[in-house]
Amino acid sequence: MKFNIGGKEGGVAEILGFLLVIVAVFIIFDAFMNTVVPTSISSAEAQHYSDVISQIFQIKSGIVTSTSVSFFPYSLYESVDLGTQSIPILVPPSPGQIVIIPYNDQNFINVSFQTPQGQAVSFNGSTYIGVTLFNRVYPQEAIYFDNGLIATGYPNINLKNLSILSNGIADYYNGTFSIYLISDSGIQYSYSGTGSVGISVDINSIAYDNYADSGTLNLSLHDPLSYLWAKFLENLTHGNTQIEKNGQYYEAIINNVSNVRIVYINLNIRILEALS
């Protein structure tokens, strides 16, 4: 008796061919996930980082612009993107976190001095926005806004290793020291997610005070970026600032100041919405 085994051989060949296709697809997919996807994610994270910095700068620019208007309340709005761009089906977006800390007894910048008549003068103010990006490829990154000073770096590290992107709102020229104290009278917020957060800044009032022959200026920097503020003031006054450490914070003493100009901005920062 004879048997025709050609059909069986053909079936085996089809199965082997199918398995080879599956293996080839798996190899291609594995190469895609290990090369193309990380490259795409890193590009998205770099662009996201740049976008958030630009959005924080827009908040500062809006506050500075408000000092030239004559009507209050004056409001501005900015959207901050917390999540990175996703790769559909393959990689979900990485989340981010935003924290807003208003002025309080533990978080402030104080400017104090004495007038020639012996009058003690003191001003407080502070507003703080921190955005942390929980990346997949790059290390976690943080962008900080502190009374106009913008810095960036890795979260939860020594502040001495942060980089200043934009100086605080202050100026020192021909013995005249000017500083904008931004006082946020709102409440503390914290939000984490992958969407966009709408931030409203309602500027309630702006006051100007000028003092002649103020002599020695003392700045107590009781806020999260105290060291950066001290270094900024030292650079601003071309070394005419003495820096002293007071516990975990810093003091800056500026000598021989002819005039002081304080621009006091009272505002309220609110998270209006979280958009998915």
Separation of alpha carbons 179 and 170, rounded Å: 4
Whether the per-residue pLDDT at 13 is higher than 80: the answer is no
Q: What pLDDT score was predicted for residue 9?
A: 58
**232 falls in which pLDDT band (50, 70, 90)?**
very high
Q: Choose among 185, 165, 172, 211: nearest CA to 265.
A: 185
Q: Spell out the residues 6+ positions from residue 182 whose beta carbon is closer than 8 angstroms to its own.
A: 63, 125, 126, 127, 147, 148, 169, 265, 267
Contact 80, 196 (CB under 8 A): yes
More confident residue, 42 or 218: 218
Q: In the chain, pLDDT over 90 holds for what percent of residues?
A: 42
Among left, alpha and beta (phi > 0; psi -120 to 50; other), residue 155 is beta
For residues 52 and 143, the answer to whether their CB atoms sit within 8 Å is yes
110 pLDDT band (50/70/90 cuts)? very high
Res 25: pLDDT: 54
pLDDT-based confidence at residue 181 (cuts at 50, 70, 90): very high
The DSSP result for 29-44, as a single string, is: HHHIIIIIHHHHHHHH
Confidence at 32, pLDDT banded by 50, 70, 90: very low
> What digits encode the pLDDT tens for the residues 62-96?
998 888 888 888 899 999 999 886 655 456 788 89
Q: Is pTM, for the whole model, over 0.95? A: no
pLDDT reported for residue 243: 93
- The number of C-alpha atoms within 13 Å of 110 and in the hemisphere containing its C-beta is 15
Tokens of 261: 């100009």
% helix, strand, coil for the chain, step of 5: 25, 45, 25
> 88: closest CA among 37, 131, 134?
37
Closest CA to 127 of 271, 268, 274: 268
Find the farthest-apart pair of alpha carbons in the chain and give their distance in angstroms, rounded: 126
pLDDT digits (tens, 9 = 90+) for 124-171: 998 999 999 998 888 889 999 999 999 998 766 556 678 888 999 999
pLDDT of 24 reads: 55
Burial tier of 113 (Cβ tally within 10 Å: 0-12, 13-18, 19+) = buried
- In this prediction, residue 146 carries a pLDDT of 92
**Structure confidence at residue 212 (pLDDT):** 87
30 against 117, higher pLDDT: 117
At 27, the pLDDT band (50, 70, 90 cuts) reads low
State the sign of the Cα–Cα–Cα–Cα dihedral 27, 33, 34, 37: positive
